[in-house]
Every structure is written in structure tokens, then in C-alpha cells.
Amino acid sequence: MYALFAVGVNSNFRIRYNTMLPANILFSDRPSEDLSKLLVQKHYSKTVVLVDENTRKFCLPLLFDDLSSLHVIEVSSGEEHKNLDTCQRIWSKMTELALDRHAIMVVVGGGVLGDMGGFCAATYKRGIDFVLIPTTLLAQVDASIGGKLGIDFQSFKNHIGVFQQPILTLLHTGFLKTLPLAELRSGFAEVIKHCLISDPKMWKEISTKSLEDLAWKDLVEHSVVFKALVTSEDPKEKGLRKILNAGHTIGHAVESYLLEAGRRILHGEAIAIGLIAEGYIAAEKGLLAKKDFHEITSYIIKIYGKILLKDDDVRESSGLAVQDKKNRDNRILCVLLNGIGNAKWDEEITVDQIRESLHYYQKL
Ligand SMILES: NC(=O)c1ccc[n+]([C@@H]2O[C@H](COP(=O)([O-])OP(=O)(O)OC[C@H]3O[C@@H](n4cnc5c(N)ncnc54)[C@H](O)[C@@H]3O)[C@@H](O)[C@H]2O)c1
Ligand SMILES: [Zn+2]
């Protein structure tokens, strides 16, 4: 078990791994027992479980022996359902079930369900307790930690939402066994990011291994401890929390452009591109040693392969970065690695630098 001590000094920081986790995060080898313990202890008036068709099939049986007496709300999987329509269906079901303020919602799913289910619970009758049981790698290492909840609105991602902590985040890596490989690899980009911005030792550890050889339990724990510390130090993203956006300024611009162009790639694939492109800029600025940059690039390409980017894609994506939520006064603000294991946020970069970095990626 690790704990972190962050020393946030402007846009620079040092992190030290040691022991401890927030009280509402639990790693469990027996999620069914641990969940029922909580439900019994707290005497909830009713328990409702939110699933999608995949987590109903693969994950629910690992949590409840008797499914017959359970109140289950099932919604369709996929980002396209993370919207107000689905929330209305969830709130309607909660109302039909006559849930009062002493009820609890257990959300069993990936980041889509965690964000949306948590949001529905946090707003129903001004908020009831909820448990997050993240079942994808991305949800375990990222989405279920830090209290951000919400939904997409019109064409804006995570546009409507609240900050609220679950009563418990229950982590069980056994759920990952049924996760499609593409989803596992996608979530892994956040693990790579966490290692690169905080822990050179863990980076060394993962970068010598292939996906099949990784010890998920250790890696999930490592990422969770890191994200929990960063987000508890800076819950509303005023400073330190911004480092979690490493790889995301350029990655998100490419992801959004390709989505609009009808060539959707997975989030983690986009972040893989972003980590290389932003690494290129960091190396050009002299923040990241060339040798380290090449090591990062070759590992990421080994895991994700190379995603085809046409010249139009490069030009249009570079332009899109100007609209990034994290920018201020029309300046593109980015997280840049300051050597492996350290990062600086609010570093200004230009559209030309982004274009150049993506051209570099194209030619790899
Ligand atoms: N709140 C935050 O801080 C935060 C951070 C990062 C990402 N997010 C959000 O997370 C979402 C993406 O989450 P995701 O990548 O988990 O996608 P997801 O929730 O869409 O899940 C991916 C797919 O895996 C299926 N699935 C889930 N668990 C499974 C299992 N154990 N076995 C088999 N199939 C399973 C799901 O049904 C779905 O089809 C995005 O909406 C993003 O905005 C939120
Ligand atoms: Zn991400």
C-alpha cells in the first residue's frame, strides 16, 4: 500500500509514495461480502443497483447471490447514452421505486455509469448515498476517484455535473477479467500517464512489460493512491489537479476531431497520441531529455501501434486545441513532463508546436 505526499509549489511539485488511502476507498478481494457489510451496517431504506447490459451480465453475479429480490435499473451502455434522457429514465425509476432520502444507489459499471449514476444519486431529492463499483480499468484508475460526476449535454462532454464523493468506492480487479482487451488497453493509457507524471520507478516497472504480464492489482492501487491524493489536495482543479490532464490537451483535440469526422478512436488511444505529441514539445523545450522521450515513444507505440493521422487530421486537430476547457485568455495551456516522474502545468504551447508534434507522430 502506498500513500502520497504532494508538495504543490506553483506549477511544480514533488510526490513521495508511502502509506494510506481515503476512508471511502476500499480494495476488496470479496466485493460481495464487503458491499453487503456496508448495506447492513447503514440500514438503508432501499438499495437500487444501476447497471448496463454488460455489467448486468458479467459483474452483477459477482456481487449479489440473490438477484431476484434486487431493485435493478438497467440502461444501455455507451457514451452516447450519458445524457439527460437517460438521467430522466433513471430518476423516473427511482421515483417509481419510491426511494426516499435514506435509500442508496450502487453503481456497477465503467466511467459512463459512474459519472451518470453518481450524478443521478447526488441530485435525487437533493442527494442520496451512492457506492461506485468501477468495473473497467479506466473507471478503477481514474473515473471513480476524485468526485467528478456528470453527463454530456448537446455536443459538450461532461458539461452538466457536480462534485460529490461516493460513500464508498469498492475496487475489485477481478472485474477486469471480462473486460474486452481494447477497453483494457484504453484504460491503461491513464496508468501510463500516472506513472510518467509521478513515479519514475513505476514507469521503469511497466515499461519493461507487455500488457499480459502486468500485475493489475498493484497498478490499480498505485494509480488510485496517486489520483486520490492529487484530488484531495486540489478537489476543484485550481492547481495540482491539472497535472492529470497530461496527454489530454492534444489527445483530446485529436479524439474530438476524429469523432466529428466519423472515425472514432478510443479515449486511451487518443491519450497515447497526446502523450507522445506533448512529450515531443517537452523535449523540444528542453524539459524532457531526448533519450527519455524516445523511451516513452517506443513503449507507447509498442502498446498502441500507430494510429493513422492524415494531414487534414493534423491541421484540424491542432486548431481545435484552442478550444480546450483548460485554456485561459486564448492561450493554450498544457501539462508538460519535466523529466520522467514530474510535470508542470499551465505551460503555454502554440498551435504551430502542436502541428509540428503531430507531424512528428505521423512520421514515426
Ligand atoms: N469522473 C471522472 O473524473 C472521469 C475521469 C475519466 C473519465 N471519465 C468518464 O468515463 C467515461 C469512460 O469510461 P469507460 O472507459 O469505463 O467506458 P464505459 O463506461 O463506456 O465502459 C466501456 C464498456 O465496457 C463495458 N464493461 C464495463 N465493465 C465491464 C466488465 N467488467 N466486463 C465486460 N464489459 C464491461 C461497458 O458496458 C461498456 O460497453 C467517459 O464518459 C469519461 O468522461 C470520468
Ligand atoms: Zn483521460
| 71-75 and 104-109 strand pairing | unpaired
Quote the CA–CA distance of 194 and 129 in Å, as a whole number: 29
249 lines ligand 1 (CB under 6 A): no
Alpha-carbon distances of 291 from 130, 280, 298, rounded to whole Å: 46, 11, 11
Give residue 61 CA to ligand 2 midpoint distance, Å: 29
- HSE value, Cβ hemisphere, 13 Å, CA-based, for 142: 21
**Residue of minimum CA distance from atom 16 in ligand 1:** 110
pLDDT of residue 13: 54
| pTM, to two decimals | 0.94
296 lines ligand 1 (CB under 6 A): no
110 lines ligand 1 (CB under 6 A): yes
The grid coordinates of residue 82 equal 450519458
Quote the CA–CA distance of 27 and 171 in Å, as a whole number: 5
In the predicted model, residues of the chain with pLDDT beneath 50 are 1-12
